[in-house]
């Protein structure tokens, strides 16, 4: 009955207009499942062929194993591989462990709520900016050492290997500081879908201690929900370049950094070695993931006995208090390092062992800011374009993908996330090879397109949940009233989802601002963003300037996140009439069943 009403009240023109659009869009959606596999195939071919000696763009027209011989002859190759594995796996394990500690020790406490609020801005800060902060914090002349200087009676910085150390411990620390917030935020989302309180009560009424309940009942249910995020962290940590350039080992560097250096070497033979290295890195990441997943299986079956053995644990564990301390300590360190970055940008003279700068001034800002305008402009234009396109594409996919078959939908989602699960260095090198061959590198839109590969999955990821929670009955009601799908979508659904949409936009901007390799690989050196500039400056000695770039790197995403919170609130004033009508709808509906949550919590 409802449907017949909708067709009879709608005007013919509006209906044909909307249905034509719907038709075109529904055709377009069939392209998407093939787009990403195609890109992946190109990316793979772009490293596999050169890795075996075939790269016509540089004059290599026959297959050979020479690139591998060259790769294997690299001094320190094994050290490189082992350190890469150690830092990548170490950072992931440690991040996961700390996330678990955070969850167990802080759930439903003030710290939990505080973390929920302080993490998103921390997450929006680019990795490289945080790494710069960690350098300012931990290096032998850093703030920690300055604080220790008085009690330890140090006149000069201690000759210690704290950053750029050969084991990559500094790198692990910087990665952990950035990945823990990411995993925690993913976990907070997963927690909201799990009846933790009930599980804990049940467990404890059966005599299990708090900690045992978490380990045996809650964690096994939560972990599968963040497994994808853990894999993303693993792939990222194993192939990170920018953070590694700033704080990682350099004698020898990590494998991804070495690949970048080979790729940029004038000797064309090294471009082939870079491809071989990229393929090796891809295999290493694949191997690590396979091992990780296998280990999970072994652990689940191996720990069955422990799980059901009836061990109740002691009532109060020291782990809970110390975990809370550890986690708050980590948060505080992250914030201190960011504050130190800000102070550095305003200091003209700040010698060891001064705890505060001896000469604070705006000179660095006045002097260097004009030179920053260009990278700032590139950063913002690329970031905004990507996130707008990313959000539009995500909305398109969310609206139309349900028309595809189930396996097509699954494969789409898998391929969306693929750029995040593949090592950046390998994937981008593979994409860059055809770009160079087709003379497509060095254009603004190429840079933006490469950014989109990484921005899109995050936009999509952040919109999936609000889209699923949206109650379709609002749209049905809108359709009855307006008779037009397009108008219903624009006037009912979009305004109701405005907040998550803006959050997705800001997230896109944050992701794009942080990207280093896509700019370097696709920009042919012609486009600089705040991040590429900051990484280049990290090898120089001007800390104020470096700090200035890091501050700008932080400001851009934060400003956009601020806007993402403010704009929907402002526009809600304008849309108040719409809201009112939707409220009426919801109160009507309330008679039948309790309303589902329709808007995303920001």
Partner 1 sequence: MIKNTKGYPLTAMLTLLFTVTLHADVPLYTEHTEHTEHTDNWQETLNAAKGQTVYMNAWGGSANINNYLHWAATELRRRYDVKLRHVKVDDIAPVISRVIAEKNAGRNTGGSADIIWLNGENFRTLNSNGLLYGPFASRLPNWRYIDPKEKPTTVVDFGEPVNGMEVPWGMAQLVFIYDTALVSKPPKTMQELLSFSKKNPGLFTYPAPPDFVGTTFLKQALIELIANPERLQKPVGDDFNRVTKPLWDYLDALHPTLWRRGRIFPNSSVAMLSLVDDGELAFALSFNPGAARAGINDGLLPNTVRTYVHKGGTIGNSHFLAIPYNSSAKAAAEVTINFLISPEAQLRKADPKIWGDPTVLSASRLQPEDQKALKQQNAAASTFDNKTPIQTLTEPHPDWVKALEEAWLKRYRR
Partner 2 sequence: MSLELNTIRLAIRLSEGEHILLDNFSLTVASGEIVSIMGPSGCGKSTLLAYLCGALAPETASGSSSEINASGTISIDGCDVTNMAMEKRKIGLLFQDDLLFPHMNVEENLAFALPYRLSKNERHHRISEALAAAGLSGYKKSDPRRLSGGQRARISLMRTLLAEPRALLLDEPFSKLDSRLRTQIRDFVFTTIRERNIPALMVTHDRQDCSERIIELHRSEAGETTYD
Residue numbers of the site for partner 2 (CB under 8 A)?
108-109, 195, 198-199, 201-210, 216-217, 220-221, 304, 307-312, 315-316
- If one asks whether residue 381 binds partner 1 (CB under 8 A), the answer comes out as no
DSSP string, 388-440: HHHHHHHHHHHHHGGGS-HHHHHHHHHHHHHHHHS-HHHHHHHHHHHHHHTT-
Six-digit token string for 103: 């969850």
- If one asks whether residue 369 binds partner 1 (CB under 8 A), the answer comes out as no
From the list 151-159, 286-294, 394-402, 556-564, the region that binds partner 1 by CB under 8 A is 151-159
- If one asks whether residue 371 binds partner 1 (CB under 8 A), the answer comes out as yes
Give the shortest CB-315-to-partner 1 separation in angstroms. 48
> In angstroms, rounded to a whole number, what is the distance separating the alpha carbons of residues 268 and 193?
53
Which does residue 540 bind out of partner 2, partner 1, none, counting CB within 5 to 8 angstroms by kind?
A: partner 1
Nearest to 236 by CA among 458, 71, 558: 458
Give the shortest CB-129-to-partner 1 separation in angstroms. 18
Q: Which is nearer to partner 2, 36 or 208 (CB)?
A: 208
Preceding peptide of 225 cis, ω within 30°: no
CA dihedral over 240, 523, 259, 551, signed as positive or negative: negative
Give the shortest CB-157-to-partner 1 separation in angstroms. 5
Residue choice 198, 332, 355, 359 for contact with partner 1 (CB under 8 A):
359
Asked whether 379 and 128 are in contact (CB, 8 A), the reply is no
Nearest to 531 by CA among 251, 125, 227, 15: 125
Six-digit token string for 146: 């300055």
From the list 34-42, 57-65, 407-415, 480-488, the region that binds partner 1 by CB under 8 A is 57-65
Helix (H, G, I), strand (E, B) or coil at 279: helix
Residue choice 10, 164, 237, 345 for contact with partner 1 (CB under 8 A):
164
How many CB atoms within 10 Å of residue 107?
18
> In angstroms, rounded to a whole number, what is the distance separating the alpha carbons of residues 218 and 223?
9
Which does residue 369 bind out of partner 2, partner 1, none, counting CB within 5 to 8 angstroms by kind?
A: none
Binding positions for partner 1, 412-451, rule CB under 8 A? 436-437, 439, 441-442
Asked whether 473 and 592 are in contact (CB, 8 A), the reply is no
- In sequence order, what are the residues at sequence separation of 6 or more whose Cβ sits closer than 8 angstroms to the Cβ of residue 229? 182, 183, 186
Give the shortest CB-360-to-partner 1 separation in angstroms. 11
Give the shortest CB-296-to-partner 1 separation in angstroms. 34
Size, binding site for partner 1 by CB under 8 A: 56
Six-digit token string for 36: 């990403």
Q: Which is nearer to partner 2, 199 or 333 (CB)?
A: 199
Q: How many residues does the chain have?
A: 602
Which does residue 312 bind out of partner 1, partner 2, none, counting CB within 5 to 8 angstroms by kind?
A: partner 2
- If one asks whether residue 61 binds partner 1 (CB under 8 A), the answer comes out as no
Q: Which is nearer to partner 2, 141 or 209 (CB)?
A: 209
From the list 46-54, 63-71, 365-373, 399-407, the region that binds partner 1 by CB under 8 A is 365-373
Q: Which is nearer to partner 2, 214 or 561 (CB)?
A: 214
Tell me, residue by residue from 540 to 579, as one string, x for binding to partner 1 by CB under 8 A and - for no binding: xxxxxx----------------------------------
Which does residue 201 bind out of partner 2, partner 1, none, counting CB within 5 to 8 angstroms by kind?
A: partner 2
- If one asks whether residue 86 binds partner 1 (CB under 8 A), the answer comes out as no
Nearest to 244 by CA among 86, 43, 421: 86
CA dihedral over 153, 155, 159, 161, signed as positive or negative: positive
Q: Which is nearer to partner 1, 261 or 475 (CB)?
A: 261
Preceding peptide of 101 cis, ω within 30°: no
> In angstroms, rounded to a whole number, what is the distance separating the alpha carbons of residues 161 and 176?
19
- If one asks whether residue 153 binds partner 1 (CB under 8 A), the answer comes out as no
Asked whether 232 and 149 are in contact (CB, 8 A), the reply is no
Tally DSSP H helices, then E strands, for the chain: 29, 4
From the list 104-112, 267-275, 327-335, 486-494, the region that binds partner 1 by CB under 8 A is 267-275
Q: Which is nearer to partner 2, 322 or 576 (CB)?
A: 322
Binding positions for partner 1, 88-117, rule CB under 8 A? none
Which of the 8 DSSP states describes residue 163?
A: S
Binding positions for partner 1, 169-198, rule CB under 8 A? none
Q: Is 310 exposed, middle or buried (0-12, 13-18, 19+ CB in 10 A)?
A: exposed
Q: Which is nearer to partner 1, 251 or 573 (CB)?
A: 251
Residue choice 31, 151, 266, 318 for contact with partner 1 (CB under 8 A):
266
Asked whether 228 and 417 are in contact (CB, 8 A), the reply is yes
Longest dimension (CA), the chain: 87
Q: Report the DSSP beta bridge partners of residue 55.
A: 60
- If one asks whether residue 250 binds partner 1 (CB under 8 A), the answer comes out as yes
Q: Report the DSSP beta bridge partners of residue 360.
A: 347
Q: Which is nearer to partner 2, 52 or 107 (CB)?
A: 107
Task: Summarize as ranges the residues that interact with partner 1 (CB under 8 A).
Answer: 57-59, 75-76, 79, 140-141, 155-157, 159, 161, 164-166, 249-252, 263-268, 271, 348-349, 351-352, 359, 363, 367-368, 370-371, 436-437, 439, 441-442, 524-526, 528, 533, 536-537, 539-545
């Amino acid at each position: 009955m409802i449907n017949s009403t909708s067709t009879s009240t709608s005007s013919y023109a509006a209906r044909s207009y909307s249905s034509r659009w719907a038709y075109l869009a529904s055709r377009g959606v069939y392209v998407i499942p093939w787009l990403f596999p195609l890109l992946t195939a190109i990316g793979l071919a772009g490293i596999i062929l050169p890795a075996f000696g075939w790269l016509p763009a540089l004059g290599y027209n026959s297959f050979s194993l020479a690139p591998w011989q060259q790769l294997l002859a690299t001094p320190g190759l094994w050290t490189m591989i082992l350190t890469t594995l150690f830092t990548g796996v170490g950072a992931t394990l440690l991040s996961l462990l700390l996330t678990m500690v955070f969850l167990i020790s802080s759930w439903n406490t003030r710290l939990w709520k505080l973390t929920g609020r302080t993490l998103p801005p921390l997450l929006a800060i680019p990795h490289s900016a945080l790494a710069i902060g960690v350098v300012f914090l931990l290096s032998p002349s850093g703030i920690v050492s300055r604080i220790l200087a008085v009690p330890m009676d140090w006149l000069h910085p201690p000759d210690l290997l704290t950053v750029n150390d050969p084991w990559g411990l500094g790198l692990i620390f910087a990665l952990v500081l950035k990945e823990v917030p990411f995993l925690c935020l993913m976990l907070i989302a997963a927690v909201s879908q799990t009846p933790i309180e009930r599980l804990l009560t049940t467990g404890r009424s059966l005599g299990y201690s708090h900690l045992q309940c978490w380990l045996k009942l809650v964690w096994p249910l939560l972990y599968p929900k963040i497994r994808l995020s853990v894999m993303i962290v693993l792939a990222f940590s194993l192939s990170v370049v920018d953070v590694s350039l700033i704080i990682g080992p350099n004698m020898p560097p990590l494998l991804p950094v070495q690949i970048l250096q080979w790729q940029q070497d004038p000797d064309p033979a090294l471009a082939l070695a870079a491809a071989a290295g990229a393929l090796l890195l891809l295999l290493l990441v694949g191997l690590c993931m396979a091992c990780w997943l296998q280990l999970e299986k072994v652990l689940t079956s191996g720990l069955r006995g422990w799980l059901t053995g009836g061990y109740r644990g002691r009532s109060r564990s020291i782990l809970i208090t110390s975990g809370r301390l550890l986690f708050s300590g980590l948060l505080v360190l992250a914030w201190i390092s960011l504050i130190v970055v800000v102070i550095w940008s305003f200091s003209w003279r700040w010698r060891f062992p001064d705890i505060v700068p001896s000469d604070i001034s705006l000179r660095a800002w006045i002097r260097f800011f004009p030179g920053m305008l260009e990278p700032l402009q590139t950063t913002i234009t690329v970031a905004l374009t990507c996130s707008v396109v990313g959000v539009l594409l995500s909305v398109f996919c969310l609206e139309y993908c349900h028309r595809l078959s189930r396996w097509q939908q699954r494969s789409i989602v898998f391929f969306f996330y693929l750029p995040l699960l593949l090592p950046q260095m390998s994937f981008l090198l593979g994409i860059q090879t055809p770009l160079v061959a087709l003379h497509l590198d060095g254009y603004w839109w190429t840079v933006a397109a490469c950014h989109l590969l990484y921005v899109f999955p995050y936009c999509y990821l952040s919109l999936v949940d609000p889209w699923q929670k949206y109650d379709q009955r609002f749209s049905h009601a809108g359709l009855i009233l307006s008779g037009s799908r397009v108008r219903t979508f624009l006037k009912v659904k979009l305004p109701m989802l405005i907040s998550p949409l803006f959050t997705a936009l800001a997230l896109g901007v944050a992701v794009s601002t942080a990207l280093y390799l896509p700019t370097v690989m696709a920009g042919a050196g012609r486009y600089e963003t705040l991040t590429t500039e900051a990484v280049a400056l990290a090898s120089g000695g001007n800390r104020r300037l470096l700090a200035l770039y890091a501050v700008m790197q932080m400001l851009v995403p934060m400003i956009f996140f601020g806007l993402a919170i403010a704009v929907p609130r402002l526009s809600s004033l304008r849309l108040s009439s719409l809201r009112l009508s939707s409220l009426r709808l919801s109160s009507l509906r309330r008679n039948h069943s309790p309303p589902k949550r329709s808007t995303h919590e920001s």
